[in-house]
Amino acid sequence: MKRIFITGAGGQLGLALIELLKDNQEYMLCLTDSRPSADGTIKALDITDEATVKFQISEIHPDIIINCAAMTAVDLCESEQEMAYNINALGPKYIAKVANSIGAKLIHISTDYVYDGQARTPYTEEAVPNPASVYGRTKMAGDNFVKEYCPRSFILHTAGVYGEGKNFVKTMLKLADEDRKIRVVSDQIVTPTSAKELARVIIYLMETDSYGKYHASCEGSTNWYEFALAIFEMAGRKAIVEAISTSEYPTPAKRPEYSVLDNKMLREFHGYYMKGWKEALEEYIIEKGKML
Ligand SMILES: NC(=O)c1ccc[n+]([C@@H]2O[C@H](COP(=O)([O-])OP(=O)(O)OC[C@H]3O[C@@H](n4cnc5c(N)ncnc54)[C@H](OP(=O)(O)O)[C@@H]3O)[C@@H](O)[C@H]2O)c1
């Protein structure tokens, strides 16, 4: 039985991984997050505490570590830069060091926000990062540490994740329930990705030795306005939605105008295709429908 150590297990991706892995007899899960869960299945581990990261991971001696922990509040990162660096850069560094010392594989998750968004064709893994926000810069620093300290690592860049927890899909449906006019930006091109689709590709890759950088978002692209329309249509909800430009919705952090990722490595080296964004959204809405 392989031991899998997951950090940030209570977040969107962590919960999707647990859902897919919990009944698999081949794996024993060791779950940690910033706060312990009420039922005790997730233990506390702050990834910015190097000594405790080293102690807890060495004690379990996992075969695989999946780092799902991150500071994902993109705007908050602008005002809390030190915290963002500690969580998004130093945390992965500490995890990578201990992973390497015990011979564990490390799967680390990164973002489309490492790119500047100036391209107009999908970014492949060869594209040069040039982040425009504190979130993007601190995530890029984390990626570099993982690469430097743990050669047996996978770094997966994904985008627009939605699963259990606070996310765009849930926010849209909540606003629709409140019967408010909803204004959504239509000039940022993205590929929303379900946490479940991301979890599936992690589970596939962690059983290989094909270490390196991967783009791992759903196939295709859209903008947030079109994505909102698709959510309402699939969920059978009525909503008044207005398309606006980014300049009409100023935020502390600059978002990339275009952050479509080309999953070239997955496709060419593994023949692996992630679902199209609409198909993944449909799956999510059908599964979560009653709870949304
Ligand atoms: N969400 C997206 O749209 C998106 C897009 C591209 C890439 N990604 C990347 O995908 C990965 C997973 O994202 P997600 O959507 O699952 O994020 P999430 O739902 O925000 O989950 C992150 C988890 O990390 C925990 N965490 C924060 N600081 C921590 C610390 N110091 N020590 C231990 N745990 C800590 C959080 O706990 P608290 O809630 O207590 O802070 C939370 O449970 C991240 O690497 C993220 O950067 C996400």
Give residue 64's pLDDT band: very low, low, confident or very high (50, 70, 90). very high
- Write down all domains in the chain, each with its CATH number in brackets: 2-166+193-218+261-275 (3.40.50.720)
pLDDT at 46 over 70: yes
Burial of 51 (0-12, 13-18, 19+ CB in 10 A): exposed
Show the tokens assigned to 164. 């259990």
Does the pTM of the predicted model rise above 0.85?
A: yes
Residue type, 246: T
DSSP-based three-state secondary structure for 92: helix
Q: What is the pLDDT of residue 117?
A: 96
* pLDDT tens digits for range 194-227: 999 999 999 999 999 999 999 999 999 999 999 9
The answer, yes or no, to whether residue 290 has pLDDT greater than 70, is no
| DSSP secondary structure letter of residue 181 | -
Nearest ligand 1 atom, CA 112: 6
88 alpha carbon – ligand 1 mean position (Å): 9
238 alpha carbon to ligand 1 midpoint, in Å? Answer: 31
Pick from 111, 87, 104, 89: nearest CA to 206: 104
Measure the CA–CA gap between 110 and 266, rounded to whole angstroms: 16
Mean pLDDT of 242-251: 93
3-state SS of 233-275? HHHCCCCCEEEECHHHCCCCCCCCCECCECCHHHHHHHCCCCC
Write out the two tokens for 114: 């490492």
3-state helix/strand/coil string of 105-126:
EEEEEEEHHHCCCCCCCCECCC
Across-strand partners of 241?
182
Confidence at 94, pLDDT banded by 50, 70, 90? very high
pLDDT digits (tens, 9 = 90+) for 157-202: 999 999 998 899 999 999 998 888 899 999 999 999 999 999 999 9
Active site residues: 135
Cβ density class 25-41: b for 16+ within 10 Å, e for less: eebebbbbbbeeeeeee
Q: How far is the CA of 72 from the centre of ligand 1 (A)?
A: 5
Rounded CA separation 92/106 (Å): 10
Residue to probe by mutation, ligand 1, list 161, 190, 217, 260, most atoms within 8 Å of CB: 161
Q: Indicate whether 291 pLDDT > 70.
A: no
The dihedral built from the CA positions of residue 123, 125, 127 and 129, taken in this order, carries a sign that is positive
Identify the CA nearest to 210 among candidates 107, 141, 115: 107
Q: Whose CA is nearest to atom 5 of ligand 1?
A: 159
Give the model's pLDDT for residue 180: 81
Q: Tell me which amino acid residue 215 is.
A: H
Pairing mode of beta strands 222-223, 189-190: antiparallel
Which whole number is the average pLDDT over 126-137? 98
- What residues are paired with 194 via a beta bridge? 162
Interatomic CA distance for residues 207 and 32, integer angstroms: 21
Q: Is 12 in the pocket of ligand 1 (CB under 6 A)?
A: yes
Mean pLDDT of the 256-267 span:
97
C-beta 49 within 6 A of ligand 1: no
- Read off the tokens for 251: 């935020």
